[in-house]
Amino acid sequence: MFLEPLQDARCRTHDTFRLECKVDGIPYPEVRFYKDWRLLTDSYRTRIRHIEPDIWQLTIYGAIEKDTGLYTCTAKNIAGATLSSANVSVEDNLLSIPRPDLERPITTFKKKRFDEDYDILERIEQ
């Protein structure tokens, strides 16, 4: 059974978000996390953690828009199975996207007379 179910979450791109629930059962159930019904495992961006005695956490690092979706936690033992789901929305954060074109120093222009930098050899008239 879920003592505390998953809660819907919203975050911005490149942020870290965490889904957390509390699970209990006799015997203690096998807990798994899914995204859009596909099994999740630990990876460089995904971490599943069990904090004794009953807390389960799914952490996603560096969220991208593709992480938006339905996340489900299942708890299963010989007595049966149950699940808890939450919707996660990852919103594009334009301010967090690296923009190398904006990192260049600002160019300033000084007003000068033409003949300060150039020699006039002859004038061309039309």
The string of pLDDT tens digits covering residues 39-94 is: 999 999 999 999 999 999 999 999 999 999 999 999 999 999 999 999 999 988 65
Q: Please give the pLDDT value at position 113.
A: 73
Radius of gyration of the chain (CA): 28
Give the side-chain half-sphere CA count within 13 A for 9: 27
Domain spans of the chain? 2-93
40 burial (CB, 10 Å; 0-12 / 13-18 / 19+) is middle
State the Cα–Cα distance between residues 73 and 6, nearest whole angstrom: 8
* pTM of the predicted structure, to 2 decimals: 0.71
Fold of the 2-93 domain = Immunoglobulin-like (2.60.40)
